[in-house]
Amino acid sequence: MEKTFQFEADQTIDASNKLVFPGGIDPHVHLDMPFMGTYSSDNYETGTRAALFGGTTMVIDFILQTQGKSLYNALNEWKGRSDGNAVGDYSFHMAVTDFNENTKAEIKDMVEKEGITSFKTFMAYKGALMIDDAQMVGLMNEVKACGGMVTTHATNGDMIDFLVAKHKSEGKLSPLYHYISQPEVTEAEASGRFADMADYTGVKGYIVHLTCEGALNHIRDATKRNQKVYAETCIQYLVLDASLYDKGFESAKWVMSPPLREKKDQDTLWAGINQGLVQVVATDHCPFNWEQKKMGENDFSKIPNGHPAIEHRMELLFSEGVVKNKISLNKFVEVSSTNAAKIFGMYPQKGTIGIGSDADIVIFDPNEKHTISVNSHHMNVDYSAYEGWEITGKSKTILLRGNIAVDDNKLLVNKGYGKFIKRNKSILDLK
């Protein structure tokens, strides 16, 4: 017999003429992160607050192991910055930058005690973050044994370092050479290598911030041999392109790794989303103020990599994707929320609206028009990478765990309301 439930509501919200969908999940952000000689400018309070204004109720941040130190050392450092400070909900991926016998022994506890079930690797940024293939395969074996997932920044660090050194020796020092030093092949090669190693070890794999056709072709090949490698792209790779590197030093606003690509790559990524090859649209939010970007005024390799987008992901994806008929409304919900919840082991607590779920809900006006600007955004950064962009669609009322967190551009919850979410193992079937 069908069960019926009857509840008395404390409050009724009028959502007529609005869309109602699950709170957004951005599984790729960097808050208060030590990187390239500075810290990303949004901390847990400002970053998760800005996310909420845009309809993202949960983020997953990256803990970076310091080479020579333990994973627990890094976890404690990140807890020190996040505990009691977040406004929206959050979790962590653990970036393993030094895989050895000691690190190996900590993986099981991360999964089973800490609820950190995904392990990030860097195939670039040699010297601080990059691991080699021997470490990668060792980590994959251990993570598989513990039921977790390995994710990666898939670019060939050695090739990039060679090209950076070459351009610098030729006196080519502007932000344009950041882009020219990371051609498509550097990402395609590493993506294929990662997929092959994941296939060999049998671990669940996920490629972060995938940008281009060459890399997506490797995901397609993996799918053909019946291997599932999840792929995430980021909103900037769908809507911005490499012509922004022709603006002199102003182009530093878009210096990120991998760099923006070509129009043909944007088409490939939209198609990849519709074909189910790209499951997630994140941001890789890693903001730096202009003074920080200027650290690389005379040398592109010293510009802190990253751009601000945590607040705009949902509205940009709706406006550029749904309104312009590139993706359906259902696909929008999948790639902005539900798939991340399933892949990263939070479903059905997060990523859906249903009895027993967290009641993270966005009430969205699909017709409201507004313009992105540094003067109105909530991120702690003194420029906008999307200044003047006209958007159709606005997150109006945002509920987090059943409480109204934002209503008509007013924040109604405080610092400390955001909760750390322990995660389970991934659900493989996204259907």
Q: Give the binding site for ligand URP (CB under 6 A).
A: 30, 153, 256-257, 284, 286, 305-306
- Can you give the length of the chain in residues? 431
Cβ-based nearer residue to ligand URP, 48 or 319: 48
Which option in ligand URP, Zn ion, none does residue 305 bind, with CB closer than 5 to 8 A by kind?
A: ligand URP
Q: How far is the CB of 305 from ligand URP (least distance, A)?
A: 3
C-beta atoms surrounding 76 within 10 Å: 11
∠ at Cα 64 (63, 66), nearest 5°? 140
Which CB, 42 or 284, lies closer to Zn ion? 284
Element (H, E) at 169: helix 157-169
Nearest residue (CB) to ligand URP, 155 versus 319: 155
In the bound complex, which residue of the shown chain has the CB atom lying closest to ligand URP?
305
**What CA–CA distance (Å, rounded) separates 38 from 384?**
19
Beta carbon nearer to Zn ion, 153 or 218: 153
Q: Closer to Zn ion by CB, 64 or 197: give it.
A: 64
User: Closest separation between CB of residue 303 and ligand URP, Å?
Assistant: 10
Compute the least distance from the CB of residue 94 to ligand URP, in Å.
15
Task: Output the residue with the shortest Cβ distance to Zn ion.
Answer: 153
Residue 235 neighbours by CB distance under 10 Å: 25
- Specify the DSSP class assigned to residue 320: I
Of Zn ion, ligand URP, none, which one sits near residue 178, judging by CB under 5 to 8 A according to partner kind?
Answer: none
The number of beta carbons lying within 10 Å of the beta carbon of residue 223 is 15
Q: Minimum CB separation from Zn ion for residue 138, in Å?
A: 21
CB of 359 to ligand URP, least distance (A): 31
Ranges within 263-302 binding Zn ion (CB under 5 A): 284
Taking CB under 5 A as the criterion, which residues in 140-199 touch Zn ion?
Answer: 153
Q: Which of 328, 168, 156, 330 is nearest to 257 (CA)?
A: 156
Cα–Cα distance measured from residue 45 to residue 418, given in angstroms and rounded to the nearest whole number? 9
Which amino acid is present at 205?
G
Based on CB atoms, which residue is closest to Zn ion, 284 or 360?
284
DSSP 1-60: ---------S-----TTSEEEEPEEEEEE--S-EETTEE-S--HHHHHHHHHHTTEEEEE
Report in angstroms how near the CB of residue 332 gets to Zn ion at its nearest. Answer: 22
Q: Which of the listed partners (ligand URP, Zn ion, none) does 306 bind, with a CB threshold of 5 to 8 Å by partner kind?
A: ligand URP
Question: Which residues are near Zn ion by CB under 5 A?
Answer: 153, 284
